[in-house]
Structure 1
Amino acid sequence: MAASVGVFATGMTWEESPVIARTVDLVHWAVGANDYTDFHFDSEAAQSRGFDGPVVNGPWKARAMKAFLEARAEPHDVLFDVIDIDYRLPDVVNRELVFAFEVLDAQSDSQGNLRAEIAGEVRNPVGEVTTKANLKVVVATSLETDELPLDATKDALSMGKAHGPFTYTLHHSDFLRYQQISGRPADEVDDVMPAAFFGAIDPVERRDLDLDSFLLEIPLTKVGGGNAFNEVSYERPIRAGEVLTVMTTYTDVFEKKGRSSRLFFRVRENVYRDEKGEKVAVSTNGHVIAYASEGAQK
C-alpha cells in the first residue's frame, strides 16, 4: 500500500524557489572536488567551446537536488539509495534555475522508515528541462546518539552494487598541475601519470557519487576522518588525452573501537576501463569518520 502520511507521499509535486549558481560557487566547488575544468568558471574558455558562458557543474546540480530533499525531510535523516542523473542541456552560471519534484511512489517499510522514489528536474529561465533525475530515498527516524548506523549505511551504499559508469577525460593540464603539485621537476613533467593519480579520478572524491554524507549529521561528536587507505593495482600507465570510465562498488562497512573514539569505515572498489572497454586499473579505497566516545575500547 502506498504511504499516505509522512514527508513524501505518492503523487506529491512541488517546485523550489529559483536558485542561481554563481561563479564563486563553482570556484569553491572546483577546489573541493579537485575539478578545475576551465569552462565552468572562465567565460572565454566556455565561449570557445560554444557555450553562452561558464557552465554549471552537473554534480553541483545533483547535490542541490539532494539538499532540497534533505531540507524537506527535516528533522528526519534521508539516505539516498539510488541517484540516476540525465544531463540533457548545459546550464549557464548566474541564471535562475528551477528545481521541481514529483513523488512517484512512497511506501512504509517493516522498520517504520519511508521509502520513496522521486523524479526531479531542473529547468532553465526559458522553461527547458536541462536535467532529469530519478532518486530513491529512505527517510529514517533520528538515530540514537550511542549507535552508529551500520545497517542504514549499508542500505544507502547498496553494498555489492556497482554505481556508474562515471566518465572522465584526462586533460594534459590536469597532468601538469598534478605533477607540479607533487613536486616533480618541471623538466621531467610528461603525459604519463603515476598510479597515485587514480585517486584524483575517483567519483567519490570528485563528489560525483555521494551516498553517505548523512553520516556527518548524526548527533555524535566528530573528532577526525578522511582517507584511511588507498591501494591501486593497474595494468598499464594512463596518459593525457585518454577517456576512462569508472564503476564504483561499496564492499564493506564496519566499526572499530579505540581508547577514546569509534572509527566508522566505508570501503569501496573502483574499476577503471578505457574506451575499448579494457580494464586499466582497480583501486580499493577506505574512508573513515572518527566519533568521540569515552572508554570506547573495553
Structure 2
Amino acid sequence: MAVDRSLIGKESPEEVFEVERGAIRKFAEAIGDPHPAFRSGEIAPPTFPTTFRMGIPGVNLELSRVLHGEQEYSYRRPIRAGDRLRCKTRVADVYEREGRLGKMTFLVTEIEGRDEAGELVFTGRSTIIVR
C-alpha cells in the first residue's frame, strides 16, 4: 500500500488563509465561472478552498502517481473577500481497490475552515487515488 492506514486520523497544523478579492477574481476566471459576485471578487466560488494547500505530517505522495478522484464542499455561509479562515485537514480514510493496472490506494481527506470568531464556514472532503 502506497499510503499506510496508520495515517487515518492524522491532522495538519492549523493554517490561516486570507481570502483576497484578486484571488477570488482570478479563480473565477480560471474556472470560467461568469457569476458577477465571483467575477467582482466579493464572494468565492464553491470550489475556492481547493486553493488552500496544506500538508499532513507523514503523508508524502509522489505527484506523478496521484489522480484526483473527487471533491465536495458543504457551507454554513459563503467565503467572502477579507475572510481570514483558520483551516486544518485530516486523513479520514485509506483503502485499496484493484484496478485494471493493479492495486490503487484511495486517500480520503477532510478539511474544515473557521472564521476568526471560531464559527464553522465550510467543510470539504477529497479523495485522492495513488497508483
* TM-score between both structures, scaled by the size of structure 1: 0.40
Measured in 2, the distance between the counterparts of 1:247 and 1:266 equals: 16
For residues 186-217 of structure 1, the C-alpha deviation after alignment (integer angstroms, 9 at most, x for no partner) is 966121112111211242xxxx446322x539
Deviation per residue, 1:247-297 (Å, 9 max, x gap): 21111111100132221111111111001000001101111112xxxxxxx
Which secondary structure state, in structure 1, belongs to the residue aligned with residue 14 of structure 2?
Answer: strand
State yes or no: 1:272 paired with 2:107: no
Alignment check: 8 A CA contact 1:254 1:264 kept: yes
Q: What is the SS of the residue equivalent to 2:24?
A: helix
Q: Is the 8 A contact 2:24 2:45 kept in 1?
A: no
Q: In structure 2, list runs of 5 or more residues that go unmatched.
A: none
Residue of structure 2 equivalent to 1:15: none
Check if 1:193 corresponds to 2:44: yes
CA distance in 2, matches of 1:162, 1:261: 29
- Kindly tell me the number of residue pairs found equivalent between the two proteins: 129
1:154 CA displacement: 3.0
1:166 corresponds to which residue?
15
Report what 1:259 is aligned to. Answer: 100
Distance 1:250 1:186, change over 3 A: closer
State the partner residue of 1:9. Answer: none
Query: Structure 2: which amino acid aligns with 1:212?
Result: V
Change (3 A) 1:216 1:171: same
Matches within 5 A, 1:192-211: 192-203=43-54, 208-209=55-56, 211=58
* Counterpart mapping for 1:100-119 below 5 A: none
Structure 1 unaligned regions, length at least 5? 1-147, 291-298
| Cα distance in 1 for residues equivalent to 2:15 and 2:99 | 36
Would the aligned equivalents of 1:202 and 1:270 in 2 still touch at CA under 8 Å? no
Which residue matches 1:130?
none
User: If the length of structure 2 is used for normalisation, what is the TM-score?
Assistant: 0.84
Taking structure 1 as reference, are residues 212 and 276 closer, same or farther at Cα in structure 2, changes over 3 Å only? same
Matches within 5 A, 1:1-298: 148-149=1-2, 153-155=4-6, 157=7, 159-185=8-34, 189-190=39-40, 191-203=42-54, 208-209=55-56, 211-213=58-60, 215-216=61-62, 224-290=65-131
Identity among equivalent positions (%) equals 26
CA RMSD, aligned part only? 2.3
Shift of 1:166: 1.0
Rounded Cα–Cα distance in structure 2 between residues aligned with 1:288 and 1:251 = 14
- Which one-letter code corresponds to 1:195 in the other structure? P
For 2:78 and 2:111, how far apart are their aligned partners in 1? Answer: 16
- What is the identity, as a one-letter code, of the residue corresponding to 2:5? K
SS in 2 for 1:249: strand
Q: 1:187 to 1:216 in 2, by over 3 A?
A: closer
- Structure 2: how far apart are the matches of 1:259 and 1:240? 44
Q: Secondary structure at the match of 1:163?
A: coil
Counterpart residue identity of residue 216, structure 1: E
